[in-house]
Amino acid sequence: MKIAVLASEGAPYAKSGGLGDVMEALPAALQRIEGNEVLLILPFYKKIKENPKYPTELVSEITVCLGWRKQYCGIHRLMNREDGVQVLFVDNDYYFGGRSGPIYGDLDDSERFAFFSKACLEVMNEVGFVPDVIQCNDWQTALVPVMLNAWFREAFPHTKCMYTIHNVEYQGWADVHFFDDVLALPREYYNVLEMKHAMNVMKGAIESADLVTTVSESYARELMYPYYAHGLDGILSNAAWKLTGITNGIDTDVFNPATDGALPAHYDADTFVEGKAKVKAALQEEVGLPQQPDTPLMVMVTRLAGHKGLDLLCYSARQLLLEEDCQLLILGTGEKQFEGFFTQLQQEFPDRVAAKITFDLGLASRIYAGGDIYLMPSKSEPCGLSQMNAMRYGTVPVVHATGGLRDTVPGCDENGQGGLGFTFQSYNADDFLDAVKRAIHLYRDNREGFRALQHTDMIQDFSWDKPAQRYMALFDRMLNW
Ligand code: GLC
């Protein structure tokens, strides 16, 4: 099957979050399936262009029209991808290559990614890649199914399109003038994109795609409710017949405690007791915490954003530190209020709390490996990847039972049995604190039980093989319509 995967970011080339991780592993997993030919198209951001690790060759140069705009589009092929996935970069200095700074956040983001969406279709046409299936992601490529129907049916008469929602919070809103000025789509598409007297490209994709998926089964159900859907519950309920959840995997080669180059010691499911103890001691030293092997080390690697459940931790952290013998280590950057809170907490409890307000992938690995308990109380979570990273490294998760956290971390009892981690159902600080304490007590009072749970976590299959098969089943379904 010929599969085109379109996205605004993909590791290792450019990544701002979980979408980037998925775009690293999913195309590779699809390519491993016999008979598949996978093409990944990404914007040629400045930091990719300038990175000598990613040599490219110029395949062709075309012009992409967007309303009255005529924009240059260079097509660059990555020359050193080894797994068989074809990677093409869309080159345009005005929108991508000439800008430094973060991937998103420019005032003209709507226009930048409208250009990218159109360019993806033009690029496939130019290089003669006629996909059976297009898989596109989040608001940045949401215009692809709309433009495919409006303009590219001659070029791609049988191509089906799957649209995947990684986070419904960001929908790609623009004002109504965007329709004529930037898109200049035929008039009949106005209603497809219009919502509340504005343009909403995610709504357009949900209505236009052949199938809509999201990144866990629970989140697919939650998306029908106003509490989770950020205004799209009605649209998504209407699309329920074509909405499915496929829980993400993680890249188990990248996240592997037996080989991870960032770790001072390596281990697997049989040797984790000694291995993790070594990493924990080194980690405590690295972050300035006392080296106490038997004090439970609670860790978190996260964007410091509200929906990650940090308000629960802020509310209960002092009580937890006063009532339990434990250490807390947080790595991440984000909203100032949380950066300030954890910095302050570290000053109050210098022997108990370490707050690393930075982005550091190596330290992240050491935290997944050196921690005992991984906290992830997200208010909502489409899938979440770090709880799986933590389990793969033998660190027991404590999660709010929502979205992908519910699907990947079934709750265990106080003896650590019957599940993979500690969960709480309703989003409040008391229930969170209770779940954390159950984890700490198992660690303190029944170390054998805690180790059995760590072992169970480590032997789970979080690889992309099964999710990739589920994507294939849905691709087949679309093609057989
Ligand atoms: C988004 C979601 C996260 C998910 C990731 C990859 O970042 O917030 O829950 O794991 O996308 O699908």
Q: Is there an atom of ligand 1 within 6 Å of 111 CB?
A: no
Residue 243, phi-psi category: left (phi > 0), alpha (psi -120 to 50), beta (remainder): beta
CA 164 to centroid of ligand 1, rounded, Å: 11
pLDDT tens digits for 77-111? 999 999 999 999 999 999 999 999 999 999 999 99
Q: Whose CA is nearest to atom 6 of ligand 1?
A: 18
Q: How high is the pLDDT of residue 424?
A: 98
| pLDDT average, residue stretch 423-436 | 98
CA of 345 to the centre of ligand 1 (A): 28
Q: Is 145 in the pocket of ligand 1 (CB under 6 A)?
A: no
What pLDDT is stored for residue 95 in this prediction? 98
Closest C-alpha among 380, 378, 377, 376 to residue 227: 380
pLDDT at 280: 98
| The pLDDT of residue 169 | 95
Centre of ligand 1 from the C-alpha of residue 383, in Å: 5
Q: Is the CB of 236 under 6 A from ligand 1?
A: no
User: Ligand 1 within 6 A of 248 CB?
Assistant: yes
- Over residues 183-190, mean pLDDT: 98
Rounded to the nearest angstrom, the distance between the alpha carbon of 181 and the centre of ligand 1 is 32
Q: Is 10 in the pocket of ligand 1 (CB under 6 A)?
A: no
User: Mean pLDDT, to the nearest integer, of 121-134?
Assistant: 98
User: How far does the centroid of ligand 1 lie from the alpha carbon of residue 42, in Å?
Assistant: 18
337 pLDDT tier (thresholds 50, 70, 90): very high
Q: What is the mean pLDDT of residues 387-411?
A: 98
- CA count, 13 A, side-chain hemisphere, 99: 18
Is any atom of ligand 1 closer than 6 Å to the C-beta of 159?
Answer: no
Please tell me if the CB atom of residue 166 comes closer than 6 angstroms to any atom of ligand 1. yes
347 alpha carbon to ligand 1 midpoint, in Å? 32
Residue range 260-280, pLDDT digits in tens: 999 999 999 999 999 999 999
Percent over 70 (pLDDT), the chain: 100
Q: Ligand 1 center to residue 9 CA distance, Å?
A: 13
Check pocket membership of 11 for ligand 1, CB cut-off 6 A: no
Q: Is the CB of 260 under 6 A from ligand 1?
A: no
Phi, psi of 373 (to 5 degrees): -130, 130
Predicted local confidence at residue 481, as pLDDT: 87
Average pLDDT, integer, range 440-447: 98
**Average confidence (pLDDT) over 168-174:** 97
354 CB under 6 A from ligand 1?
no
In this prediction, residue 454 carries a pLDDT of 98
Task: Give the number of the atom of ligand 1 that is nearest the alpha carbon of residue 404.
Answer: 9
Asked if residue 388 has its Cβ within 6 Å of ligand 1, the reply is no
**Quick one: three-class SS letters along 6-42?**
ECCCECCCECCCHHHHHHHHHHHHHHCCCCCEEEEEE
**449 Cα–ligand 1 center, Å:** 31
The pTM for the full model equals 0.95
* pLDDT above 90 (res 246): yes
What's the rounded Cα separation, in Å, for the pair 481 and 477? 7
Average confidence score pLDDT of the chain? 98
Q: Where are the beta strands (DSSP E) in 421-471?
A: 422-424
Pairing mode, if any, of strands 160-165 and 37-43?
A: unpaired
pLDDT average, residue stretch 288-312: 97
Residue 200 has pLDDT above 90, yes or no: yes
